[in-house]
């Protein structure tokens, strides 16, 4: 069976950040990702001339270390500022946070930084970890029978999926079950001609939607492409409804807000994020079982969002490096 010093499950921001830090420290790391490429919830879909960031829309950098890293990505041309003409529909909720000074986007798609990181790493695409076992080391089994052993394991799947991998009896599963992820239905709309609107993005506090954005207004994108996000309440209520019905309802809501009754989209695709954002994220950096050399990481461990995922990936790497992957507790 193939052996790796450290296996990381997941090629999103937290997994690839942890992998890059560990590889930079000279560790032998293998990243396993069930999808065909990097991104996770910071995904970009390409369809003809249209690009859609149908998960994460932009990110902010408040932590000094992350801000420094973001400046480096900007200097490398991987990240740019985004200054959309913003609008608000419906009353602003009382608990909404302060507007960030700078919104940043990866270019030409929100997965671009992760794509660049993955090129420096040993990533295995289409590798879905299905079961794990631990006996002085880890064995990771894929859904197609492949196997890999490792001294240390980092899992960055959303909490419910991480819990399913570890099993109900695992000592870390109780902590995972406390973190609930809210879903999000996302609709991608491509138009042949620009919509004549006086805004590029809007926070929506009425009806089923929470956010709409003209993806083409971000740096490095072309084509008239819009991303429409439903709010957590609607998404939870309609989670198991047929896609055609949800797509029609979200398109109706978008048309109502934008007054584009006469213009049909040339392309339309719906995506269901079953685990979009933690409703009650932890602020622990990561969860660590030193005895089994196991780390659980993800945005949900560090306050949500891309910045949280990056911080959690760093925390995961720090734990393994501080401890040494070859030591038992
Ligand atoms: C609709 C939506 C809008 C958002 N908007 C924003 C925003 O505007 N700004 C912002 O900062 N953040 C936003 N976020 C949150 C942001 O996308 C996440 O915080 C960040 O992408 C999380 O990264 P992660 O690495 O922790 O997790 P993920 O991106 O979920 O990565 C986990 C990876 O693990 C893989 N995986 C899972 N199970 C297995 C398995 N068994 N085997 C192999 N691989 C597996 C998954 O395929 C995935 O690639 C949004 C998210 C969504 C869904």
90-122 burial: b if 16+ Cβ within 10 Å, else e = eeeeeeeeeeeeebbbbbbbbbbbbbbbbeebe
Q: What is the pLDDT of residue 50?
A: 95
In angstroms, the CA 148 to CA 139 distance is 6
User: Which band of pLDDT confidence, cut at 50, 70 and 90, is reported for residue 246?
Assistant: very high
User: Which band of pLDDT confidence, cut at 50, 70 and 90, is reported for residue 39?
Assistant: very high
User: Which band of pLDDT confidence, cut at 50, 70 and 90, is reported for residue 12?
Assistant: very high
What separation in Å is there between the alpha carbon of 211 and the centre of ligand 1? 18
Q: What is the pLDDT of residue 180?
A: 96
What separation in Å is there between the alpha carbon of 42 and the centre of ligand 1? 6
Q: What is the mean pLDDT of residues 134-141?
A: 97
pLDDT for 167-193, tens place per residue? 999 999 999 999 999 999 999 999 999
Q: What is the mean pLDDT of residues 269-291?
A: 97
Closest atom, ligand 1, to C-alpha of 161: 38
- Would the CB of 57 count as within 6 Å of ligand 1? yes
- Would the CB of 14 count as within 6 Å of ligand 1? yes
Q: Is the pLDDT of residue 27 over 50?
A: yes
Query: Which residue's CA lies nearest to atom 37 of ligand 1?
Result: 157
Share of the chain above pLDDT 90, in %: 94
What separation in Å is there between the alpha carbon of 257 and the centre of ligand 1? 28
pLDDT for 153-166, tens place per residue? 999 999 999 999 99
In angstroms, the CA 109 to CA 255 distance is 25
Q: What is the pLDDT of residue 326?
A: 46
Residue 248 CA to chain centroid, in angstroms?
25
- Would the CB of 247 count as within 6 Å of ligand 1? no
The pTM assigned to this predicted structure is 0.96
In angstroms, the CA 78 to CA 62 distance is 19
Q: What is the pLDDT of residue 327?
A: 42
Q: What is the mean pLDDT of residues 113-120?
A: 98
Q: Which tops the pLDDT comparison, 99 or 14? A: 14
Q: What is the mean pLDDT of residues 194-219?
A: 97
276-313 burial: b if 16+ Cβ within 10 Å, else e = bbbeebbebbbbbbeebbbbbbbbbbbbbbbbbbbbbb
Query: Which residue's CA lies nearest to atom 10 of ligand 1?
Result: 305
Q: Is the pLDDT of residue 62 over 90?
A: yes
pLDDT for 88-98, tens place per residue? 999 877 666 66
- Would the CB of 109 count as within 6 Å of ligand 1? no
Closest atom, ligand 1, to C-alpha of 12: 25
- Would the CB of 306 count as within 6 Å of ligand 1? yes
Q: What is the pLDDT of residue 93?
A: 75
Q: What is the pLDDT of residue 92?
A: 79
Query: Which residue's CA lies nearest to atom 1 of ligand 1?
Result: 55
- Would the CB of 41 count as within 6 Å of ligand 1? yes
Q: Is the pLDDT of residue 328 over 80?
A: no
What separation in Å is there between the alpha carbon of 94 and the centre of ligand 1? 27
What are 150's strand-pairing partners? Answer: 4, 138
Query: Which residue's CA lies nearest to atom 8 of ligand 1?
Result: 57
What separation in Å is there between the alpha carbon of 15 and the centre of ligand 1? 10
- Would the CB of 10 count as within 6 Å of ligand 1? yes
Closest atom, ligand 1, to C-alpha of 184: 1
């Amino acid at each position: 069976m193939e052996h790796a010093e450290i296996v990381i499950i997941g090629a999103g921001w937290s997994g690839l950040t942890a992998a890059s830090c560990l590889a930079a420290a000279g560790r032998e790391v293998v990243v396993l990702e069930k999808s065909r490429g990097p991104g996770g919830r910071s995904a970009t879909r390409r369809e003809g001339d249209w690009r859609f960031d149908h998960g994460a829309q932009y990110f902010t950098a408040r932590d000094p270390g992350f801000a420094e890293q973001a400046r480096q990505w900007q200097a490398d041309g991987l990240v740019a500022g985004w200054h959309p003409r913003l609008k608000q529909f419906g009353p602003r909720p009382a608990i909404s946070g302060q507007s960030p000074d700078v919104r940043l986007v990866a270019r030409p798609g929100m997965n671009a930084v992760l794509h660049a990181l993955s090129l420096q790493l040993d990533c295995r695409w289409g590798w879905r970890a299905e079961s794990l076992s631990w006996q002085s080391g880890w064995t990771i089994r894929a859904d197609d029978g492949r196997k890999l052993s490792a001294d240390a394991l980092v899992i960055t799947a959303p909490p419910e999926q991480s819990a399913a991998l570890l099993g109900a009896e695992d000592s870390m599963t109780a902590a995972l079950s406390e973190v609930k992820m809210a879903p999000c239905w996302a609709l991608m709309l491509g138009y042949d001609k620009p919509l004549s609107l006086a805004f590029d993005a809007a926070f929506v506090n009425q009806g089923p939607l929470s956010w709409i954005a003209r993806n083409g207004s971000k740096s490095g994108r072309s084509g008239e492409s819009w991303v429409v996000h439903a709010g957590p309440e609607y998404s939870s209520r309609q989670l198991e409804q047929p896609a055609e019905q949800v797509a029609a309802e979200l398109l109706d809501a978008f048309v109502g807000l934008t007054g584009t009754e006469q213009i049909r989209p040339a392309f339309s695709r719906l995506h269901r994020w079953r685990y979009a954002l933690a409703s009650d994220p932890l602020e622990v950096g990561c969860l660590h079982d030193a005895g089994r050399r196991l780390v659980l990481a993800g945005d949900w461990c560090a306050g949500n969002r891309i910045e949280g995922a990056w911080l959690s990936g760093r925390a995961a790497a720090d734990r393994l490096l501080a401890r040494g992957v070859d030591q038992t507790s």
